[in-house]
Amino acid sequence: MAIHNGEISYVSEAGVGSEFKIVLPKSGEVPINFKIIDEAKTTRSSMVKELILDPIDEAMQLKNTENSVKKVISTIESPKQTILLIEDDIDFRTYLKSLMHDDYDIYEADNAETGFAVVIDHDPDIVVSDVILKGMSGIEFCAKMKDSPSFSHIPVILLTGSFSPEIKLKGIECGADDYITKPFEKNLLIARINSILKGRNLLKKFFINEVTLKQHQLKIPAEYSDFITKCIAIIEEHLENEEFTAAQFALEIGMSRSKLFRNIKSISGLSIAEFIRYIRLRKAGQLMIESDMHIREIAFKVGFNDQKHFREQFQKLFEMNPSAFVKKYKNSFANNKTAIKVTQIVRK
């Protein structure tokens, strides 16, 4: 009860019974630093888990992220990404839902507190929130999202009926990805949502192609490709260190761990631990094609001491076992070095 600023008491009389009294503050009276995430919750999102897992526990990560590649690819290719609508006017919320339900799966909330709980449970691809809400405002909600190391990568679009420059400035300052004034053309909102999600999906698709060494002609802004290149270089410097951690990674790249997590999540859809593992496997695939090393040697070279675990992870990423990968690509690479791309990153 303490974290809710509440009280609980009871009165008991033998032979008569007991009366319990619970007192909770109104939503507007909840302190600003109220912690919504339950640390004892056993179903934390992968993002929250990543912030407390250090050093990397490969066995635990394997259990929780068994189908990581397929999940990322399905996110890219699925016509149904998820939107959270936060709006206390039920009629307007229903109208917004009618604009989007054909193309997106919709979550709804009538206040920011409930909306944040939905974010924790469902990790939506994007949030559309009104600014004026009962209790926590849309601007306060957005600021809370952007201050959270677990959810700051999720885009937020704010809607408002106010033309006040001060309100718009606050929306920008809180980190909103877009700010739309009502009334607006319905196609404008859909176009803004599509544009933001298309950019995120392009980054994820680019990363998957890079990590699986596939030829592609995708182009992304230079700052993103430079970031990926730098990440790959740092991880490859520590390939033989199986215990290379997220904290060490953040230190070497010169970012806080939360910022590194946010950048990696936005680009790849992965946690830091998953990202490191993918780069290890990427290097393994490259060595299988370019060198005459045995698969066992390569596994050790990229930081996998457990051969079975290495083969399982390689199969999940490349959708074939190491032997099949070598058979498919090694000869063609020897004859034509453009058969599979191993180093070049295309910039926009």
User: Taking all residues of the chain, what is their mean pLDDT, rounded to a whole number?
Assistant: 78
Percent of the chain as helix, strand, coil, to the nearest 5: 55, 10, 35
The pLDDT of residue 47 is 36
Options 3.20.20.70, 3.30.479.10, 3.40.720.10, 3.40.50.2300; which CATH number does 80-201 get?
A: 3.40.50.2300
**What are the residue ranges spanned by the domains of the chain?**
1-31, 80-201, 212-335
Q: Is residue 36 scored above 50 in pLDDT?
A: no
Closest CA to 144 of 119, 180, 123, 161: 119
Closest CA to 304 of 327, 326, 288, 281: 281
> Which residue has better confidence, 55 or 235?
235
Strands (DSSP E) found in the chain:
7-13, 17-23, 81-86, 104-109, 126-130, 156-160, 178-181
Beta strand pairing call for 178-181 and 156-160: parallel
* Residues whose CB falls within 8 Å of the CB of residue 226, separated by 6 or more in sequence, listed in order: 347
Residues 112, 136: contact at Cβ < 8 Å? Answer: yes
pLDDT tens readout for residues 257-274:
888 888 888 888 888 999
Q: Is residue 42 scored above 60 in pLDDT?
A: no
| Structure tokens that stand for 186 in this block | 């319905």
Q: Record the pTM.
A: 0.57
pLDDT tens readout for residues 150-163:
788 889 999 988 77
The pLDDT of residue 87 is 95
Residues 239, 301: contact at Cβ < 8 Å? Answer: yes
Considering the segment(s) 212-335 as one domain, its CATH architecture is Orthogonal Bundle (1.10)
Closest CA to 37 of 107, 156, 119: 119
In the numeric block, the tokens 């952007």 are attached to 146
Mean pLDDT of 77-88: 82
Angle at 191 between CA 190 and CA 195, to 5 degrees: 120
Beta strand pairing call for 17-23 and 7-13: antiparallel
Distance CA(3)–CA(159), nearest Å, equals: 31
The pLDDT of residue 81 is 87
How many of the other CB atoms lie within 10 Å of CB of 265?
Answer: 24
Residues 81, 56: contact at Cβ < 8 Å? Answer: no
Q: Is residue 105 scored above 90 in pLDDT?
A: yes
Distance CA(289)–CA(198), nearest Å, equals: 33
Angle, helices 246-253/222-236, rounded to nearest 10 degrees: 120
